[in-house]
Structure formats: structure tokens, C-alpha cells
Structure 1
Amino acid sequence: MLAIIGGSGLTQLSTLEIVRREVVRTPYGEPSGALTFGELCGRPVVFLARHGYGHTIPPHLVNYRANIWALKQARADAVVSVASVGGIRADFAPGTLLIPDQIIDYTWGRKSTFFEGGDQAVHHVDFTHPYDESLRQRLLQAGKQAGEAVFDGGVYAATQGPRLETAAEINRFERDGADVVGMTGMPEAVLARELELPYAAVNVVVNFAAGRASSEHGIHFDSIEPILQESMVRVRNLLDHLCRV
């Protein structure tokens, strides 16, 4: 069963034929909301809104451990994350969809492992390639079948939030090799790896990052919502086709 975690702009899947909703408890507290079970193109899917169904949970307060644990407990066998990002690279303009292949983590203080010592042995996971390559390729193939332009690869910079970044920080991220910037990619990805859940992401560029192009003098929030809504229609199309790949 495929699990989909929806970010900003994707608090529900309009094409999901809902079967039931289930409130789940985990050893790590409550997930962001009830799990929504249903079918997408005849395939079983479980959906979770990362920020809550009313979009009330900021990025640094998302209970990432409870979310991933709940999806594993629900017997998901793969996780696709959908998240809006800012474009750092000049060719990653608003409206770009990409399937990233690398992460740089700038977050701090978040609960980022299921193995915290005590009576548990220290556990290290290989994170050389943070996204599952097979699932990445399925997303790219789904994009082709859906007729959507989807960029293959990109380095995702995960920041703490909830504030947006300064222009100087974006300059630093670019020097570090980042292509896009967001606030929710970590520790979500590594927690999935710890539970051996294949994980990949669909990034939706909704604005240029601070100091870049149209955001040179500031982020124009009034222009983000139309781009987000239009892009999420494309994301839903991609996800519909993913269930057929």
C-alpha cells in the first residue's frame, strides 16, 4: 500500500475514493491527523496531511516520528512526500516539479531518530542516497505517462522554519550545492529509512528563494497561492499515474 504525505496545498486528495479514516496512536505521540484510507485508480492508498487537515502545525512542530511510525503501522510499503519549496537554481522557476535525489539538513532540535539509547542499541543507517531510487524512477515514469514535465534530481536544503530564509542564507545554501529549499524534508526521510520504508519526494517550486529573481527584494506571498493550486492539480495527475506504474 502506498502512503502519501501531503504538504502545503495538498491537505486532501480529491481523486481518492475514501474508504475510512482512522485515528492512530503511536509510542511517539499522535500523528498530524487521522489516516485516510482509500483507493487511487483502484490501488490502496493511505493519506496523511503533514501539517494537519486544517494546516495548523508548523514545520518545526510536526511529529515526524509519529507520522512515519503510523504509516508503517498501517502497513504502507512506500512513502511519497509532497512538499512546496523555494527555487534556488535559476531554472527552477515557480511551477517547476522535481524529484530530488539529495538532501542537506540544516534543521536542529527535531526528534530525528527512533533509536535514542537507553535500552536500545545504537543504530546507524546508511544515508548516502536519502531517497529510494526505485521509487524515484516510478515517479519520473508516472510524470511521463501523465504528460507532466518533471525534473530528475536536485538537492533539497531542509531548514528549520517556520520563518523563510534570508538572502545571505540562500547564498550559503547555493554555495553548499542546494537547488531548492524547504522545511519538512528532514527528519522525515531518515525516519523512513530507519523503518526500512522506501521514501521519495515530489517538490513543487512555488516561489524563487529569497534574493533570487522575482524574490530579489522579498517574497510575494500573494503570488504563491495561485501557483500552488495550479501545481497541485499537476501533482494529483502525477500521483494518479503513479498508481498505474
Structure 2
Amino acid sequence: MTVYAIIGGTGLTQLEGLTISAALNVDTPYGAPSAPLLRGDYAGREVLFVARHGHPHRIPPHQVNYRANLWALKHSGAEAILAVNAVGGIHPAMGTGHFCVPDQVIDYTSGREHTYFAGELDHVTHVDFSYPYDARLRELLIAALAAEGCAYSGQGVYGCTQGPRLETVAEIVRMERDGCDIVGMTGMPEAVLARELELPYASLSLVVNPAAGKASGVITMAEIERALGDGMDQVKAVLARVLAA
């Protein structure tokens, strides 16, 4: 039976309902993960959980040690990754509270450690990243969202920005022109590192605010926190359905 790992983002620094059997402090060649890996039972399945931003939420997106997180999960037995991401909505369908299971990504980040294939290498390695998200995991997430009666889109382009600041209106105009449907700060290099480790990976993205210029007024943290509070119960229910399936 597949051992799933859940990567919790903003709003999901701990997984309520997880019966913890061990907290693993994994030493990796890339430094320490964001937080101890939690091994336990969730929805009747063995899972691994890591809080991407640490617990408490303290690591900004551009300083997350993505390489350590993914390496630690792989070497602790993870066989597939379900990533939870809080995002802004660019496409008109992506209103606050809407879910997206992206099928493509555009990487606008810079300066992040984005590959395991660096340094003194025996040979150059390229991975195919044409389709960055695992098709089967996406199907499971889509089926779970439908069963839970959530508002969702079964595809979309995730635009990943550097952060920690939010985007300008002009940047969102550019991203919309590029074809982005949602915008977040943590989708990359996480997805490509999973591919390099041959870990199936998919994202459950929750829209927590309209992107810059997509609503009147400025974006407030209070608005985002309300959306996170409202959406996390649905996130947990969707994850439980995927695991039960």
C-alpha cells in the first residue's frame, strides 16, 4: 500500500486527526527539514507529514529548505506526495474558497536551490518535466473534491513567484497574459525536486485571496487568514478521502 506524504502549507502547520507514532529528526545532505517529520495514522492509512513553513509558521517561502524536505520524506519511506498550497486567484473562476488541482506550472522564482543535480557530478542529468504533476494523484484529488461538494477546477496553471511580498498589479497582468490561473510562492522547486526523486507529486491549491488587481482594494492578511480558516476543514476532508481511496 502506497505511503503518502502530506506537505502542509500556510494554514496547515499541523494535521488534526493525525495519530502520531513518531517524530523524526532526519539528517539530510542538504541541511535540516522545515520541521520534524511526523509519522502516523490518518484516515486509516500510514502517512508522513511535514509543515513546509515549520511549526509554528516561521519560514518564508524563499527560505524553505525544499531539498531537505523532499529528501527526508523520500528516505523516510514516502512513495507519493500530496502538497497543500495557499494561492491567489487570477482566472475569474478562481474566487476565494475555490480549489484548483493544477496541471501545469510556470516558475518565476530566482536564487532558490532548485535541483539535486548540482556540484561535483559524475554526469549531467536532465529530467522530463513536460507534465509536472502526477496524473493519478490529480485524478484522486479531483474525485475527492467532487465527492466533498467543493468548488474546484480540475486543471490550471500555477505561477510560482519568489515572495515573501505579494505581487504587483502589473505582475499579475503579465502572469495572466502568460496563462497563469493561480499564483503562489511554494509550488517550485518542490514539484521538480519530487520529480528528480521519482516521487509522484500533486498539489491541492486553495484560493485564499484574489490576486493583485482582481478585486477592489488591497489584499489584507486578515482576509487571507479568514479564507484559510474556512477552507482547512475541506482540505482535511479531501485528503482523508484520497487516503481512504
Coarse TM-score class (shorter-chain normalised): over 0.9
Secondary structure at the residue paired with 1:81? strand
Residue 129 of structure 2 aligns to a residue whose secondary structure is coil
Deviation at 1:145, TM superposition (A): 2.8
Q: Note if contact 2:53-2:61 (Cα within 8 Å) is conserved in structure 1.
A: yes
Deviations 1:217-237 (A, max 9, x none): 311222221111110110000
- One-letter amino acid of the structure 1 residue matched with residue 45 of structure 2: R
Q: Which residue of 1 aligns with 2:226?
A: 226
Q: What's the RMSD between the two structures over aligned residues?
A: 1.0
Match of residue 210 from structure 1 = 212
Matches within 5 A, 1:63-212: 63-212=65-214
C-alpha distance in 1, partners of 2:188/2:173? 21
Q: Is the 8 A contact 1:148 1:238 kept in 2?
A: no
Distance 2:241 2:218 in 1: 36
Does residue 41 of the first structure (1) align with residue 43 of the second (2)? yes
In 1, the alpha carbon distance for the partners of 2:123 and 2:81 equals 26
Between stretches 160-169 and 135-144, larger displacement belongs to 135-144
Question: Identity, % of aligned pairs?
Answer: 55
Using structure 2 for the length normalisation, give the TM-score. Answer: 0.97
Partner SS, residue 239 of structure 1: helix
Deviation at 1:146, TM superposition (A): 2.8
Moved over 2 A (4+): 144-150
Give the secondary structure class of the aligned counterpart of 1:234.
helix
Letter in 1 for 2:55: Y
Report how many residues are paired: 243
Distance in 2 (CA, whole Å) between partners of 1:210 and 1:148 is 24
Counterpart contact for 1:115–1:121, Cα < 8 Å: no
Question: Where does structure 1 lack aligned partners over 5 or more consecutive residues?
Answer: none
Partner Cα separation in structure 2 for residue 144 and residue 17 of structure 1:
26
**The residue matched to 2:235 in structure 1 has which SS?**
helix
Question: For 2:145 and 2:92, how far apart are their aligned partners in 1?
Answer: 22
**Distance apart, 1:88 and its partner CA:** 0.5
Report the AA paired with residue 58 of structure 1. Answer: P
Q: TM-score, normalised by structure 1?
A: 0.97
